[in-house]
Each structure stands twice: as C-alpha cells, then as structure tokens.
C-alpha cells in the first residue's frame, strides 16, 4: 500500500511514480474513474441490502446490559 497519495478533482490517487516499475497506469479519464466509484457504491449498497436481514448481533440485549 502506498504511503502517500495525491488528490485530483476530489479523488484520491496513488502517487503515479509508484506505478511505473511493475504495473503501469492505463489511460483513464474522469468519467471512467467516476463510473468505477459509482459501480462500487452501487455494489456495496446492494450487498448490504442483501445481507442485512441475515446479519447477527454480536451480543444479545442481555449481554450488552451487563
């Protein structure tokens, strides 16, 4: 994980020099970046909606009140 990041148009990006040796950055414009962000949020929101009714409490009410 990179220690430092840069911020462009309210969006965080790894320092580009770190992406030269092993894997190179690809051509990606603002709309492509926004699409990834939007898809991620849609996916996570959907995931939470799917799983929420199955989530178990870590503690029961009685255990919490102890």
The H or E element that residue 29 is part of is none
Nearer to another protein, 22 or 65 (CB): 22
Q: Does 12 bind another protein (CB under 8 A)?
A: yes
* CA–CA dist 47, 41 (Å, integer): 10
Q: Does 60 bind another protein (CB under 8 A)?
A: no
Q: Does 29 bind another protein (CB under 8 A)?
A: yes
Contact indicator for 36, 42 with CB cutoff of 8 Å: no
Q: Does 6 bind another protein (CB under 8 A)?
A: no
Nearer to another protein, 25 or 59 (CB): 25
The H or E element that residue 7 is part of is strand 5-8
């Amino acid at each position: 994980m990179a220690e430092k990041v840069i911020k462009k148009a309210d969006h965080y990006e790894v320092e580009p020099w770190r992406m030269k040796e092993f894997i190179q950055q690809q051509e990606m414009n603002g709309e492509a970046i926004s699409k990834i962000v939007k898809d991620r949020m849609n996916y996570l929101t959907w995931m939470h909606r799917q799983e929420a009714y199955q989530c178990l409490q870590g503690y029961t009410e009685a255990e919490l009140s102890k």
